[in-house]
Amino acid sequence: MAGNQSPRTVTLWLQTNGVESGEIKYSNVKLKGVPRSFKFTTSSEDDYALHAELSDLEPASTYTYEIIFKSKTYGPFEFRTLRNGKSEEEFRVLTGSCAYINDSRFESGKPYGAHYEIFETMAKANPDVMLWLGDNSYLRDVDFLNPWSMNQRFRKDRSLPQMQALLHKGHHYAIWDDHDYGPNDSTSSFIFKDHSLKFFKRYWANPTYGLNETPGIFTSFRKGDAEFFLLDDRFNRDADRSPNRPEKQMFGPAQMRWLKNALVNSNASFKIIAGGSQMFNDANKFEGWQNFPQERKDFLDFVAEARITGLFFLTGDRHHTELAKIERPGTYPIYELTCSPLTSGIHPVSEEEKKNGKHLPGTLIEERNFCQLDFGGAGSDRRITVSSFDPTGKMLWEKKIQLSELGK
């Protein structure tokens, strides 16, 4: 799996079943010559998972690579380095949340997960980036009571045969939500949260994970003229049901300070903010940023005062998909795409939420699906085309959002 990319480096992820020595042979498709080699040995210390950072690469270049062991060769696969600097290129991002993989050893009744072929369909869409929006695995009661079982769940889910084609397409980034962090509706009180962070770092090749003084998974990455800000809505979270005092937090002051400074310093046209929980759905009676009114208000006040443009929000969690448009007096509207579920069960939306929600007509989907963001156009016609697809690849809806609608 290809993870973080930059103009001169790319990180690849792999995992073996035991101690294995091998090499990654890779070459620039446009340059002739002997392939370069990265030799490795996996270790039990990281449950035989490896992050291989390939360096001294050429910007804006496609490379092919093979993973070679004594008895078998895997590939060829591809990765691509970034262009140097901001560019109005065309690129495709796939996204989704809530990927439940059944495990008959610990379950009874009707299986909760289904339509694993969605991953193969997504691979055929040839994404440049795959952004996993949380609940990328589901820790059960049998898992989150001890760290060993937590890791085994992540290992088992990652080996799903139908997922392999997608893992070999594009570059993968991720955030978490409650079910791949800990128990349902997990907060900062989860006693094994340090292990959750350890395992997230093990299985996802993001550029960074939090800050030295602020543990977590928040980070950012760039692609073309877009910058993606990946938030951590669990590690420092207070309970949604706790009293609405000014200090109540979903993200926490340190992460919010990082995000605000990063937004001010960003020269990206599109500033995509991704979080596990919904952020602007006040009709949502479950978890979400609406339960942390002071923290959300402080952020929106800052965005208005600093005149941050180009904002677009991605969320998961809710087991349905919708594209919401939230009007803001005196400035441009906020768009929030909630995309869920990939393979987990469907949670029907209440009639009250259907009536009072801010979703655009035709975008509320109550079935398994994934979402696609196509960045295209140039100049005044720069835009994101947002769409939703069912597990077979049938388009469910499509909306175009011009950059000019986002305050630019």
- All domains of the chain in start order, with CATH: 1-84 (2.60.40.380), 86-406 (3.60.21.70)
Q: What share of the chain is helix, strand, coil (3-state, %, to 5)?
A: 20, 30, 50
| Tokens coding 93 | 């991002």
| Tokens coding 18 | 């035991």
Neighbours of 279 (CB within 10 A): 26
| Tokens coding 2 | 């290809």
- pLDDT for res 33: 83
Q: Is the pTM value of this prediction over 0.95? A: yes
Q: Is the dihedral of CA 128, 218, 113, 143 positive or negative?
A: positive
| Tokens coding 169 | 């397409």
| Tokens coding 103 | 């495990």
- pLDDT for res 61: 97
β-pair type (311-315, 334-338): parallel
Contact present, 267 and 278 (Cβ < 8 Å): no
| Tokens coding 122 | 């997504």
- pLDDT for res 109: 87
Element (H, E) at 399: strand 395-402
- pLDDT for res 32: 79
CA angle 187, 189, 192 (to 5 degrees): 100
* Helices and strands, number each (H, E), in the chain: 7, 19
- pLDDT for res 357: 87
- pLDDT for res 234: 98
Nearest to 237 by CA among 198, 277, 272: 277
Show pLDDT as tens, one digit a residue, over the chain (408 residues): 999 999 999 999 999 999 999 999 999 999 978 899 999 999 999 999 999 999 999 999 999 999 999 989 999 999 999 999 999 999 999 999 999 999 999 998 899 999 999 999 999 999 999 999 999 999 999 999 999 999 999 999 999 999 999 999 999 999 999 999 999 999 999 999 999 999 999 999 999 999 999 999 999 999 999 999 999 999 999 999 999 999 999 999 999 999 999 999 999 999 999 999 999 999 999 999 999 999 999 999 999 999 999 999 999 999 999 999 999 999 999 999 999 999 999 999 999 999 988 999 999 999 999 999 999 999 999 999 999 999 999 999 999 999 999 998
- Quickly tell me which residue has 């697809």 as its tokens: 389
Task: Report the distance separating Cα 123 and Cα 168, nearest Å.
Answer: 8
Q: What is the amino acid identity at position 43?
A: S
Residue 321 DSSP class: B
Residue 300 burial (C-beta neighbours within 10 Å; 0-12, 13-18, 19+): middle
DSSP states of 12-43: EEEE-SS--EEEEEEEETTS-SPPEEEEEE--
Task: Report the distance separating Cα 405 and Cα 299, nearest Å.
Answer: 20
Contact present, 281 and 288 (Cβ < 8 Å): yes
| Tokens coding 355 | 């009536």
Q: Is the dihedral of CA 223, 229, 235, 240 positive or negative?
A: negative
